[in-house]
Chains A and B, each alone.
Chain A
Amino acid sequence: MSEKKLVIALAGNANVGKSLSGETNVFVNHNGKWTMNQLKKLVEDVFNSQPVTRIDETDCATPQDLSVVSLNLKTLRTEKSKVTHVLRHRERRNLIQLKTSSGRTLIATQDHNFIVAKGETTKIVDAKSLILGDQLPVVEKLSLEKLEMLAFSDIAWDKIIEINEVNCGDFVYDLVVQGNENFMLANGIFVHNSVIFNYLTGLHQHIGNWPGKTVERAEGTLHFKGYTIDVIDLPGIYSLSTYSIEESVSRKYIAVEKPDVVVNVLDATVLERNLFFTLQLMELGTPMIIALNQMDLAKKKGIEIDADKLERLLGVPVVPMVAIKGIGIFELLEKIIEVAEKGSMVSRVEVRYGEEVEARVARVIKMIEGIQLPYPPRYIAIKLMEEDEEITKEVEKIDPKIVPFAKELAGEIENLHGHSCPTIITSERYEVAGRIAREAQQLVSPKKPTFEERLHTITTHRILGYPIMALSMLLMFYSIFTFGDYASELLSNLLYALEPIFLTLFGTEFLGKLIWGGVMEGVIAGVTIALPYIFPFYVILYFLEDLGYLSRVAFLMDNVMHKIGLHGKAFIPIMLGYGCNVPACLGCRIMETERERLLAAFVTTLVPCAARTVIILGLVGKFMGIQWALAIYAFDLLIILLLGRLAFKTLPGEPTSLIMEMNDFKMPHVKTVLKQTWFRLAEFIKIAFPLIIVGSLTIKLIELLGLLEPIAALLSPITVSWLGLPAITGITLIFGVMRKELSLIMLATLLKTADFALVLTQVQMIVFTLVTTFYIPCIATIGALVKEFGWKKALSITIFEIVFAIGLGGIALRLLPIIV
């Protein structure tokens, strides 16, 4: 079995859901004996004896020595084929029951594929596309002896005479058959088999509407026609020119790793822009297939695309798809195998630029002949002329003479055209993309504004847009904190119930205390914040993103963000920050320049995350009233604006403006949302958990060594004299570095009461809350900052915030008595 790699430009999901009813009977060969088995029993038996893996919603296992009768579609002869996988999934939709003219019946899911006669050949269609009169291949006269000999010469075609929908709500089953990809049922009908999709399944066009979020590479494997195919999920790319980290990741991967096939997923609704990227991919010279996705949405928008014509115009195979519904995936996989095996059947069309450009590109190509770079010479030459930073640097390293030469030629073009050379090349490339798009697509004017369009109009409305946004945000936070409080307490009680077990295991002495108080409480701290707050937060946020709403919010908030030297997109990490600062800092990658990433990250560390909200609501909100809690939020916003503006004025460089695609609204895709959430959660766990555990271990150690009191005493000039707080708050502030709300929990423990009104004055409450809100990004956030910006910048932000918070607290102490 050969191993093939292929690259999918964007990730997918979506279960294929191709299966048959469990009652279906099949002939199988096991230990050299043919028997008739019920599909359900067959699959369940394998599940009971073999390890079961779960792919999306499908359970999957590999049987040992199991074969079925399959049909070779080329020769129309039967063969014995190995079953490589058995599958099971729960189907919620109605099933489709078929009845043929010979009286045979079968029940399958709506997406199950069938082989039907099409003139002289066959084609594959899914159950819901079957129509009366379609003909299925069957074996007429069945007997076990004949099975043994596999001597079926009499393949007949049986007409479908009845199609009904039947209820299901139960497991459905299927097999994966090596080679022929189909198998014979006990009644003689041949049905197509399942294809295991792990990653590819959806080819869901956007992973959300935000370009470039999955920087880390995601990989998956699928099996098809005897191939093991590695699917590499690359981040979304607008242009192959080095613009952001994501783009460079993809380009490098394609150029260096040289995958066998690159699948370029195009959004059929915006063909022209997508083709621009396609043309650049083509210049990289890798074998390629175009998955023309979202054909249904394009149609709804009044765009008809002629896939065959597009294929001819580009010279690259084009497969029209509605990936989210599983339409076209099978064809795509077949095409992938075909291209990997035989190379593309169509010859690639080369993008030709204007004469002036081409003449000079040719001269550069001559110059770089023999240069050792993973990119094709023409690609390098064009990129040099386009003044692509990364390629220029790489070429400079090898031969410093080439770059000035290319620059000189580019200068000539600029003189000829009056525009810079990169501009000329880009516009010419766009011209080609535009011409191809115009030829391949037909615009049928849409009848009336679609629902999606009206939704866009109202959510970006200059007046209505803002209350809608405010309402959505309020609803989001309200539901998260209502759920979070409840779930957090539940979880925490549950986990603390483990304490006696631990203490009996490790004793109540030093070791036991260290393991429970250090390691386990660290874990609990992480879990009780991650699951109840961060998880639902991201589910909702990515739901809004996949829906397309976040880009509208960015549109509305752009001018506010400009006040702090950022643009609308920065609002997204800031919102993320209200959940947890860690993913928010990482989320700043969506900003275009290093300067903006740093600025946005700095601002997000000031955003009161879920943990700080616990303090604000639990101390000020509970003991002083909700209006004071809201005042603190408002004050925090003010500080964000002030410090953001200050940082913006201090950091060198010029602000950039917003430029962002606002994709059409669409129904969010549950799997994409969950995948994104999981991605963020995993990131949080990876960065935060080790730090929280090590940190909490350290503090426990300090405590057990009896050093807490001395440290508190050491801090008392600040805590007592300057901030006017009880001395023990010094200890709680140290705990807060782990996780901010620990500082409140510790305060209750140390003061031996949760009724803070008895031990703290109102001014002290506010001072304490302000200090904990600002005084340091928690240890996990520092970790995230280090990861993104390095030690120096992380440390500067940390030190600045400590000094700022202490200063602010002291000032608050002296000013607050006037108003409280």
Chain B
Amino acid sequence: MDQSAKRREVPLTALRNGQCGVVTSIKHGHDMGHGRGWGFEKRLMDMGITPGTRIMVVKSAPFRGPLEIIVRGSRLALGRGMAERIFIEAEGQ
């Protein structure tokens, strides 16, 4: 991946309500190999969040609660810890 693309990458949590973005990468927790953390990322992918996927942030629950997002036509609740590991290229400003 080239540098310029990397610079535009922001975590999903940086999006405003109603803003969309395209997933560029999902950060593995490096210490967890293919253990539980991996299983969780697999789940994330199975729920349709893969690189190239367009995500819209609808809103977030208060006090650093989970995000409500729209992915592939369905509504998901996504924990903040996970959302922080999803990097996206934001659309529009």
Contacts and interface: CB of A to CB of B under 8 A. Distances in A.
18 contacts: A239-B43, A243-B42, A243-B46, A423-B51, A462-B59, A465-B61, A559-B61, A559-B64, A559-B65, A568-B66, A568-B79, A592-B40, A654-B36, A656-B40, A657-B79, A657-B82, A658-B78, A661-B76
A423 B48 contact: no
B42 A430 contact: no
A426 interface: yes
A271 B72 CA distance: 9
Contacts of B44: 659
Contact of A660 (B37, B48, B76): B76
A533 interface: no
Interface residues of A, number: 51
A658 B82 contact: yes
Contacts of A243: 39, 42-43, 46
B74 A270 contact: yes
Interface string A428-462: 00110010010000000000000000001000101
B9 interface: no
Given A426-B42, A559-B61, A664-B75, 9 more contacts: A241-B42, A243-B46, A270-B72, A273-B47, A554-B77, A559-B66, A559-B80, A659-B44, A659-B79
B14 interface: no
B19 interface: no
A683 interface: no
A276 B46 contact: yes
A492 to B, nearest CB: 42
Given A243-B42, A423-B45, A430 B74 contact: no
B37 A426 contact: no
A418 interface: yes
B39 A658 contact: no
Contacts of A559: 61, 63-66, 80
Interface in A231-276: 238-239, 241, 243, 270-273, 276
A56 interface: no
B40 A657 contact: yes
A235 to B, nearest CB: 15
Interface of B: 1, 25-26, 28-29, 32, 34, 36-40, 42-48, 50-53, 59-66, 68, 72-83
Contacts of B51: 419, 423, 427
Contacts of A420: 28
A517 to B, nearest CB: 49
A655 interface: yes
Contacts of A706: none
A276 B80 CA distance: 25
A186 B79 CA distance: 65
A426 B50 contact: yes
A387 interface: yes
Contacts of B45: 422-423, 426-427, 430
B9 to A, nearest CB: 13
A653 interface: yes
Contacts of B43: 238-239, 243, 592, 659
Contacts of B60: 462
Contacts of B32: 654
A556 interface: yes
Contact of B47 (A387, A465, A661): A661
Contacts of B76: 659-662
Task: Among A460, A554, A659, find the residue whose CB has the most chain B CB atoms closer than 10 A.
Answer: A659
Nearest to A386: B42
* Nearest 4 CB-CB pairings of A with B: A657-B79, A239-B46, A427-B50, A658-B79
A88 interface: no
Contacts of A595: 36
A241 B78 contact: no
A662 B74 CA distance: 8
A655 B77 CA distance: 17
A659 B63 contact: no
Nearest to A456: B75
A555 B66 contact: yes
A662 B75 contact: yes
Contacts of A276: 46, 48
Contacts of A431: 52
Given A430-B50, A659-B77, A418 B29 contact: no
